């Protein structure tokens, strides 16, 4: 609904521009019909752009039928080399940097609503990843498989999520954010319903994998939506808000399904709850979520210009890009870049490794809590699931640091503005969150591992889990913000690899978790995880000190700051 209203509003703005300016539309020979459907093709354009104006911009190129384009704000004449002769195009942009239709200039309330909606959307698909772990015992019994095999139901969703993440980012840059969110969510809901009705174990695995594939766009593309709406300084407040919401999905899902497996509702209601939640979110997003991808909005604006003037030379940068590079080629290039970034960029590789370790910890807990709290303290299934609330409390404590980090970041931006570089500061400043939170993860793991005895109060490992929640959300927030600032236009590819790697490994660890805890024991399992996280704890401090040098080696990273 909001996207349609935006499209209509862009049309009104174009008509107002044409009516109030001195511009007079002139149809040149070969101009398109008034529907404005014609756009330049790859045969007529090359990648080289001559940004010079016509020799006499006041008169325009009357010989070529070019109108007085100078009268239209935000429209530039560019010359494109072709096989025969240069081709003039009128490239449509925002009227000014304060254009109210540009996503970063939406009203504060609209930007907050859009951020909240994409956060709730991420919460919904994230909750689906772990909610089946809360009813593992009952689903395994019904399908007559072991709990190790039953844990693959959670793992298959994560495998699907990783697979879908390969494509959802590029698709959102071709078709826009909203159409990808909405279409994928509808299909996601269909497979969640199929999973709730699955007649056997094999069908359940297939449906869970496919629901993961189509559930991936919100978590993969939401970082782009945040970047669409908020300035680099504002992201210091907006992104942690989104991160806490999205990370809370997997954490609170076991709480939501705490007693479903034991109750008369049955384990299948874990899927029905996700379906109901996703349906409600879908309705709200359809009604209230605006399109935030600026290039698509400019494409709509160019289409209105073509329709109103009958001149096919009105185009957007997205029209030109799509004409030169097809959708499949763009996806291929994005996939290729992801793997190049993996092998050529130590920042991407090491941050991805850190996130993978964190996800191993979190997703092995879905199996491990039964051993940590169930076997040692004799808690029933429902109470064991409720203990996940402690990790959520730790995340809420971490949120209290956001105003402090914002003040520090604002000071840095003020210094950058004083040196006439108001758009960029050191990307390493984004590591402050991780530097304040990373040590809490190994501390919490060692604490939990070596106080998990029946003669020690159960509150000891519970409080330790709050430390783990505190640390993981801060590292998650820093990792994303740092990668976005370091890689700028290549951030989508870098983030996509981070998503793919951690979910594939986490999917495997959900299956390995039960044998791990059973054979190694709680104490040594948590000790191994604590040692791994201790090694990775050094990473944000190393990057904070040597990040500028490491960025200097890269051909993809930003070198300023």
Place of tokens 């984004």: 430
Place of tokens 């504060």: 108
Determine how many CB atoms are found less than 10 A away from the CB of residue 22.
Answer: 9
**CA angle, residues 97, 102, 106, in degrees to nearest 5:** 110
CB 24 within 8 A of CB 310: no
Helix axes 108-130, 177-196, angle to 10 degrees: 30
| CB environment 74-102: b (16+ within 10 A), e (fewer) | ebebbbbeeeeeebbbbbbbbbeeebebb
Question: How far apart are alpha carbons 322 and 334 in whole angstroms?
Answer: 14
Three-state SS across 330-377? HHHHHHHHHHHHHHHCHHHHHHHHHHHHHHHHHHHHHHHHHHHHHHHH
Which CATH superfamily groups domain 103-292+329-552? MFS general substrate transporter like domains (1.20.1250.20)
DSSP 8-state class, residue 490? G
Place of tokens 């006499």: 56
Q: What is the pLDDT of residue 71?
A: 65
Question: How far apart are alpha carbons 288 and 290 in whole angstroms?
Answer: 6
- Cα torsion at 214, 219, 225, 231 (round to 10°)? -170
Q: What is the pLDDT of residue 60?
A: 40
pTM over 0.75: yes
Burial label for 179, CB within 10 Å (0-12, 13-18, 19+), is: middle
Question: How far apart are alpha carbons 296 and 319 in whole angstroms?
Answer: 9
Q: Nearest 5°: phi and psi at 79? A: -105, 130
In Å, how far are 25, 35, 274 from 280, measured between CA atoms? Answer: 46, 37, 10
Q: What is the pLDDT of residue 57?
A: 38
Burial label for 27, CB within 10 Å (0-12, 13-18, 19+), is: middle
Query: Could you report the average pLDDT of every consecutive run of 10 residues in the chain (561 residues)?
Result: 82 81 50 43 44 40 51 74 70 85 90 92 92 90 90 92 85 83 94 94 94 89 86 90 90 90 84 94 91 88 85 81 73 74 82 92 90 90 92 94 93 79 74 95 95 93 95 94 83 79 89 88 93 94 90 76 54
Q: What is the pLDDT of residue 64?
A: 46
What is the side-by-side order of every strand in the sheet holding 314-315?
Answer: 49-50, 75-80, 87-92, 314-315
Determine how many CB atoms are found less than 10 A away from the CB of residue 249.
Answer: 26
Q: What is the pLDDT of residue 82?
A: 62
Percent helix, strand, coil in the chain, to 5, is: 70, 5, 25
Question: How far apart are alpha carbons 536 and 538 in whole angstroms?
Answer: 5
Q: Is beta strand 314-315 parallel, antiparallel or unpaired with respect to 87-92? A: parallel
Q: What is the pLDDT of residue 358?
A: 93
DSSP 8-state class, residue 110? H
Q: Which of 400, 407, 370, 311 is nearest to 513 (CA)?
A: 370
CB 88 within 8 A of CB 313: yes
DSSP 8-state class, residue 45? -
Q: Nearest 5°: phi and psi at 29? A: -65, 130
Question: How far apart are alpha carbons 50 and 42 in whole angstroms?
Answer: 17
Domain ranges within the chain, ordered by starting residue? 2-99+296-324, 103-292+329-552
Q: What is the pLDDT of residue 48?
A: 42
Cross-strand bridge partners of residue 87: 80
């Amino acid at each position: 609904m909001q996207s349609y209203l935006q499209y209509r509003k862009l049309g009104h703005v174009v008509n107002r521009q044409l009516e109030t300016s001195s511009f007079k539309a002139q149809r040149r020979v070969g101009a398109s019909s008034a529907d404005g459907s014609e756009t330049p093709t790859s045969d007529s354009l090359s990648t080289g752009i001559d940004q010079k104006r016509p020799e006499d911009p006041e008169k325009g190129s009357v010989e070529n039928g070019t109108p007085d384009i100078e009268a239209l704000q935000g429209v530039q004449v560019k010359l494109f080399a072709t096989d025969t002769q240069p081709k003039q195009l009128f490239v449509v942009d925002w009227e000014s940097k304060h254009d109210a239709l540009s996503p970063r200039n939406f009203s504060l309330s609209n930007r907050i609503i859009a951020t909240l909606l994409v956060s709730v959307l991420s919460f919904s698909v994230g909750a689906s990843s772990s909610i089946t772990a809360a009813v593992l015992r009952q689903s395994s019994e019904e399908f007559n498989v072991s709990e190790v095999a039953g844990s693959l139901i959670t793992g298959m969703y994560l495998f699907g999520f990783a697979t879908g993440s390969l494509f959802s980012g590029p698709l959102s840059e071709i078709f826009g954010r909203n159409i990808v969110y909405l279409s994928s969510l509808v299909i996601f809901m269909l497979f969640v319903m199929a999973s709730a009705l699955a007649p056997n174990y094999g069908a359940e695995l297939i449906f869970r994998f496919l629901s993961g594939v189509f559930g991936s766009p919100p978590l993969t593309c939401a970082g782009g939506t945040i970047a669409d709406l908020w300035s680099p300084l504002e992201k210091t407040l907006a992104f942690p808000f989104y991160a806490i919401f999205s990370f809370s999905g997997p954490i609170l899902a076991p709480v939501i399904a705490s007693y479903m497996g034991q109750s008369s509702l049955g384990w299948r209601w874990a899927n029905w709850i996700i379906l109901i939640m996703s349906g409600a979110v879908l309705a709200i997003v359809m009604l209230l979520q605006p399109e935030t991808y600026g290039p698509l909005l400019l494409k709509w604006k160019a289409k209105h210009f073509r329709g109103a003037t009958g001149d096919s030379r009105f185009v957007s940068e997205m029209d030109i890009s799509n004409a030169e590079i097809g959708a499949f080629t763009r996806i291929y290039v994005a996939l290729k870049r992801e793997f190049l970034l993996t092998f050529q960029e130590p920042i991407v590789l090491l941050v991805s490794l850190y996130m993978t370790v964190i996800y191993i910890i979190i997703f092995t807990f879905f199996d491990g809590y039964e051993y940590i709290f169930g076997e040692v303290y004799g808690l029933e299934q429902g109470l064991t699931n409720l203990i996940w609330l402690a990790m959520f409390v730790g995340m809420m404590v971490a949120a209290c640091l956001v105003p402090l980090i914002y003040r520090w970041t604002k000071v840095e931006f003020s210094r950058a503005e004083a040196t006439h570089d108001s758009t960029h500061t050191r990307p390493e400043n984004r590591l402050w969150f991780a530097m304040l939170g990373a040590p809490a993860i190994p501390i919490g793991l060692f604490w939990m591992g070596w106080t998990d005895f029946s003669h020690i109060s159960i509150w000891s490992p519970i409080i330790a889990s709050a430390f783990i929640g505190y640390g993981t959300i801060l590292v998650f927030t820093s990792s994303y913000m740092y990668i976005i600032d370091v890689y700028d236009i290549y951030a989508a590819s870098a983030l996509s690899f981070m998503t793919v790697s951690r979910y594939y490994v986490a999917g495997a660890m959900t299956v390995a978790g039960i044998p791990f805890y059973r054979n190694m024991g709680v104490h040594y399992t948590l000790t191994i995880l604590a040692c791994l996280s201790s090694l990775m704890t050094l990473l944000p401090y190393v990057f904070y000190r040597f990040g500028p040098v490491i960025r200097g080696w890269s051909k993809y990273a930003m070198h300023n700051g």
